[in-house]
Amino acid sequence: MAPLKNPTEIVGDRVKLPFTFDVEQMQQEYKKLTLRNFIYYDVLQLRGPAHIIDPSLPIPPPADDYADGSWTDWLNSPTLNSSPYFTGIVDKFRELTDVTLVRLLRLEPGAVVKEHTDPTLGLQIEKSVIRLTIPIINEPGVEFILNGDLVPMVPGECWYLRLTDPHRVLNNSNKERVNMSIDMIPNDAIKAIIMESHEAMSA
């Protein structure tokens, strides 16, 4: 077997991955959740540090580096466990690598996430996690801008985005935007999928 190429040398800032998910099922499960009213931006945690999901568990000791998620154990939240389709999505990636943080990210109509960077969310970072994005509700008028260019994500798709680069979000629609974000350890299996997908997009 040929050695795995270094994806940090060839992968661009956005890669559409070969995973698709049922939009209707995702939206139905989302609508069944008990949702609080929010202004501007809201986060629903589906998987997180074990001691936060279950406060009876001990708090892990301080770590020198929190970037790659190895400082703690990670657990599904009761919200995720009550949502079988969302659980199946997470389990699909847990078969490939260690999944750390999973969230639903809500952005109200008319809201803007100002341009920023996430310093540890890129393949090129030696000790880090990567974030995959799955749009659930993404109406026309929602714009995810990465390095000044629109990322044409639609519901049900799955994207790797190099979020160490400047990015911003504009919700110019009249509905909230909802994405699932899945953070994971970038092992050889997921790196190979990202690299092969990048090469297919570039062909």
Instruction: Find out whether 125 and 164 touch, Cβ atoms under 8 Å.
Output: yes
pTM of the model: 0.93
- The closest alpha carbon to 34, from 92, 76, 79, 89, belongs to 79
Model confidence band, residue 2 (pLDDT cutoffs 50, 70, 90)? very low
pLDDT score, position 20 = 98
Sign of CA dihedral 154, 156, 157, 162: positive
> 21: number of CA atoms within 13 Å, CB side?
29
- The set of residues, in sequence order, having a beta carbon less than 8 Å from that of 95 and lying 6+ positions away, is none
For 13-43, how does the pLDDT look when each residue is reduced to its tens digit (9 = 90+)? 999 999 999 999 999 999 999 899 999 999 9
Helices (H), the chain: 23-32, 50-53, 78-81, 84-94, 188-202
90, pLDDT greater than 70: yes
Q: What CA–CA distance (Å, rounded) separates 178 from 138?
A: 7
Q: Assess whether pLDDT exceeds 80 at residue 5.
A: no
